[in-house]
Amino acid sequence: MKLSVTDRAVLAGETGSTGERMALELVTKAAAMLGADRLIRIHSGHIDGCLFHGNAGVTYCEKLVSGGAQVRVPATTNVGALNLLRPDQCRLSSAARKMAFRLMVAHEKLGCRPSWTCAPYQAGARPEAGQQIAWGESNAVAFANTVLGARTNRYGDFLDIACAISGKAPFYGLHIAENRYARLVLDTSLLPAAVTQDSAFYPVLGSLIGRLAGETVCAVTGLPRDADEDKLKALCAAAASTGAVALVHLVGVTPEAPDLDTALGGNEPEATVTITAEMMADVRRNLSMVSDGPIDCVAVGSPHFSEAECRSVLALAGGRSFAVPFYICMGRHTLKALGADGTDLALVSLGVEIVTDTCVVVTPVLPAKPGVMMTNSAKFAHYAMGNTGHLPVFGTLAECVASAQQGHVRRPGQGDR
Element (H, E) at 31: helix 18-34
Q: Compute the CA torsion angle 147, 153, 155, 160 (nearest 10 deg).
A: -80
CA distance 218 to 263: 9
| 165 and 64 Cβ atoms separated by less than 8 Å | yes
Question: Contact 168/56 with Cβ under 8 angstroms?
Answer: no
Question: What is residue 146's DSSP assignment?
Answer: I
Q: How far apart are CA 296 and CA 390, in angstroms?
A: 9
Longest dimension (CA), the chain: 74
Q: pTM of the entire structure?
A: 0.97
Backbone angles phi, psi at 61, to 5 degrees: -70, -40
d(CA 374, CA 359): 15
Distances in whole angstroms, Cα of residue 200 to Cα of each of 143, 206, 378:
18, 10, 9
Domains and CATH numbers, the chain: 5-175 (3.30.499.10), 181-285 (no CATH), 288-406 (3.30.499.10)
pLDDT tens, residue order, the chain (417 aa)? 999 999 999 999 999 999 999 999 999 999 999 999 999 999 999 999 999 999 999 999 999 999 999 999 999 999 999 999 999 999 999 999 999 999 999 999 999 999 999 999 999 999 999 999 999 999 999 999 999 999 999 999 999 999 999 999 999 999 999 999 999 999 999 999 999 999 999 999 999 999 999 999 999 999 998 899 999 999 999 999 999 999 999 999 999 999 999 999 999 999 999 999 999 999 999 999 999 999 999 999 999 999 999 999 999 999 999 999 999 999 999 999 999 999 999 999 999 999 999 999 999 999 999 999 999 999 999 999 999 999 999 999 999 999 999 999 999 765 543
For residues 309 and 230, the answer to whether their CB atoms sit within 8 Å is: yes
**226 phi, psi to nearest 5 deg:** -110, 20
